[in-house]
Amino acid sequence: MNPALPWPRWLACLALLGCALPRPGLAETLLVGPTAPSLTLAEALAKAADGDTIALMPGVYEGQQGVVTQQRLTIRAVAERPQLRAKGPLAERKAILVVRGGEVTVENLEFRGARAEDANGAGIRHERGKLTVRESVFLDNEVGILTGNDESAELVVEDSEFGLAPRIEGGLHHLLYVGRIGRFTLRGSRFYSGFEGHLVKSRARESRIAYNLIYDGEEGEASYEIDLPNGGLAWVVGNVIGQGAKGRNPVMVAFGAEGNAWPTSGLYLAHNTMVGNPWPPSWFVRVFKDRLPAATEVKLINNVTLGLGMLSPFTEGEFRGNVWALRRRALNNIYALDFGLTEASGWRGSAQPAGHGGGQSLQPTAQFKLPRGTQPITPPKAWSPGAMQ
């Protein structure tokens, strides 16, 4: 409760949030606003106890940032999404929001414009613990979300948006950069308009990347669309993955480029739709097998590749049900972000069940839905290759 708020506004906020008056020993909701006399984000973070919720009113929050030290905390919007716009030094010179540890949830916030002296200014810097980010937007940051290298940490990103990497030559700014943490899950999210860096980069022991639109777009100039540089176990299922017209690298998905960091590695790509550029030819999946454990398993199943290029040359593994077309007419309308198969493609209903890989089912249960999110799939009588059933 913030007694500095005028009574009618404070009462209205409580009614909207469905909150009761705080009582000893029970979690509270602290209301934050973009201007005085409301609490600032930093003030709310200093006051909040474990289990509390920090709720942000709509508006633009210029230069508001903070550090999460609680073991359990939720930070979310009251209603329409507020925008946290970086201005001046970032929290700890790292990010708009620094998460030190614990179990933290961020919902329906926008992070924009993070810049730091080390060129790694992030919307969120996740250092330890489990962080869940839902329905949030990261635009024009040097890095949207950047994690540390705590092997016990976990990051979950759902139904969110990352885009507009800064146009800084030599900056190598990634839209989402996951360090050597234990587990990373990415679902129902959209990535676009990178520049030199990668759209998604994960060094995690386990990476689950499913039902996303990772498509650089006409203005995009990213390097890899997905980079998994240290191997680990990676499940890449049901995504639309596409290069930008001015992309900086012909490789779309890279696995093991910087050498092994985990005792077990395996790459499992199933039911992805991958759209390359007319020129130069695309290298849809590059596996650096010589830099990974000898027992590394690779399965590429029921993927659709469009454009001049090769799926994964010089790679040994299980390859089945993958289809290729030179022309983009096999898809409905990529310019309208409709990546469903046309009836004329001849591929509808042509796929066999994807089976399992790395102890996980590779059969999709959902597909990406614009503008962000997923919709469930009712298992068809016969599966089609690609991300869209």
Lowest mean pLDDT among 132-146, 184-198, 223-237, 267-281: 267-281
**CATH no. for residue 184?**
2.160.20.10
Burial of 377 (0-12, 13-18, 19+ CB in 10 A): middle
Considering the domain boundaries, does residue 32 fall inside one? no
- pLDDT single digits (tens) 186-221: 999 999 999 999 999 999 999 999 999 999 998 899
Alpha helices (H) along the chain: 7-17, 41-47
Once rounded to an integer, what is the mean pLDDT over residues 153-158? 98
Determine the pLDDT at residue 23: 44
Distance CA 376, CA 325 (A): 27
Residue 169 exposed, middle or buried by CB count within 10 Å (0-12, 13-18, 19+): exposed
Per-residue pLDDT band for 12 (boundaries 50, 70, 90) equals very low
Please, what is the Cα angle at 268 between 177 and 263, to 5 degrees?
Answer: 70
Give me the phi and psi of 323, to 5 degrees please.
-125, 155
Residue 133 lies in a domain: yes
At 171 the pLDDT is: 82
- Cα dihedral 329, 332, 338, 340 sign: negative
Provide the domain count of the chain: 1
Over range 167-172, report the average pLDDT.
87
With cut-offs at 50, 70 and 90, classify the pLDDT of residue 296: very high
Is position 64 within any domain?
yes
Candidates 193, 251, 218, 209; CA nearest to 368 is: 209
DSSP string of 306-348? ESSEESSTT--SEEES-EEESSGGGEEEGGGTEEEEPGGGS-T
Sorting pLDDT into bands at 50, 70 and 90, what band is 24? low
Segment 78-135, tens digit of pLDDT: 999 999 999 999 999 999 999 999 999 999 999 999 999 999 999 999 999 999 999 9
pLDDT at 55 over 80: yes
- Residue 5 is assigned to a structural domain of this protein: no
Average pLDDT, the chain: 92
* Token pair listed for 335: 């310019």
Query: Is 365 a member of any domain?
Result: yes
Model pLDDT, residue 7: 35
Q: Are strands 366-368 and 374-376 parallel, antiparallel or unpaired?
A: antiparallel
* DSSP code for 182: S
Instruction: Write out the residue range of the structural domain in which residue 298 sits.
Output: 38-376
Q: Is residue 198 part of a domain?
A: yes
Provide the strand spans (E) within 63-215. Answer: 66-68, 72-77, 83-85, 95-99, 103-107, 110-112, 122-126, 130-134, 137-139, 143-147, 154-158, 161-163, 176-178, 183-187, 190-192, 200-202, 206-210, 213-215
Residue with tokens 């309208």: 336
The helix/strand/coil state of 112 is: strand
Residue 324 belongs to some domain of the structure = yes
Residue 160 has which token pair?
């969110």
Q: Is the dihedral of CA 68, 100, 143, 192 positive or negative?
A: negative
**DSSP character at residue 18:** T
Q: Which structure tokens are listed for 269?
A: 């790509």
Q: Is residue 16 part of a domain?
A: no
Q: Which helix (H) or strand (E) holds 30?
A: strand 29-32
- 135 CB-near residues (< 8 Å, 6+ apart): 81, 107, 108, 158, 159, 160, 372
